[in-house]
Amino acid sequence: MAMVTSLVRVNQLFLERIDAVLRPLGLTFARYEVLRLLTFVSGGALPMARLGSLLQVHPTSVTSAVERLVRQGYVERVRSTEDGRVVLASLTDSGRAVVEEATEGLNASVFGDPGLPPGQVRELTNLLGALRAEAGDHVVT
C-alpha cells in the first residue's frame, strides 16, 4: 500500500508543477502531449486515430483535446488528400510556438529538475518501466 500511495502522491505533485507551467499558456498536459507529438511528425499532421494510438488514450479523449486546441487556434482539422475519409489534426504556426514555449518552461521547471540526482532518476525510471511492462504497457527504453 505504501508504494502505491507514494506513487499516487508523486503523480499529484508532478501534475501540480506541470499545471503551473501550462495553465498560463491555456494548456493542459493532455493538450500539450498532442501538440508535442504533432511536432515530431513530418508535416505536423497525424490522423486522429493514430494520435490516440500513439498517446495510448481513448479516441474520445483525443477528440476532446483536439477540439479544444482547434478553438485555441493551435490545431486545424483537415481531410487527408490521400483518403478523404481520414481527418488529420494539423499543427498551426501558433500551435508550434506555444508548444515550444511550454516545452522550455517544462524543461526548466519540471523535467530538468525532477527532484532527484540523475542516477536515482535513471534507477526510478527503470523500476517504473518494469512495473509498466509487467502490466502490459508499451515501454520505450
Give CA–CA dist 103/85, Å, rounded. Answer: 33
pLDDT tens for each residue of 41-84: 888 889 988 998 888 888 889 999 999 999 999 999 998 888 87
CA distance 89 to 63: 10
Report the predicted TM-score, pTM, of the whole model to 2 decimal places. 0.85
pLDDT of residue 53: 87
What is the reported pLDDT for 66? 95
pLDDT at 43: 84
Inter-residue contact 128 to 116 (CB < 8 Å): no
Domain edges within the chain: 2-134
Looking at residue 44, its pLDDT comes to 87
Q: Cα separations (Å) of 78 from 13, 46, 59, 92?
A: 37, 10, 17, 11
* Measured torsion, CA atoms of residues 69, 31, 95, 43, in degrees rounded to the nearest 10: -100
CATH topology of domain 2-134: Arc Repressor Mutant, subunit A (1.10.10)
Q: With beta carbons less than 8 A apart as the criterion, state whether 87 and 94 touch.
A: no
Q: Looking at the predicted structure, is the pLDDT value of residue 17 above 70? A: yes
Q: Which residues pair with 88 in a beta bridge?
A: 47, 78
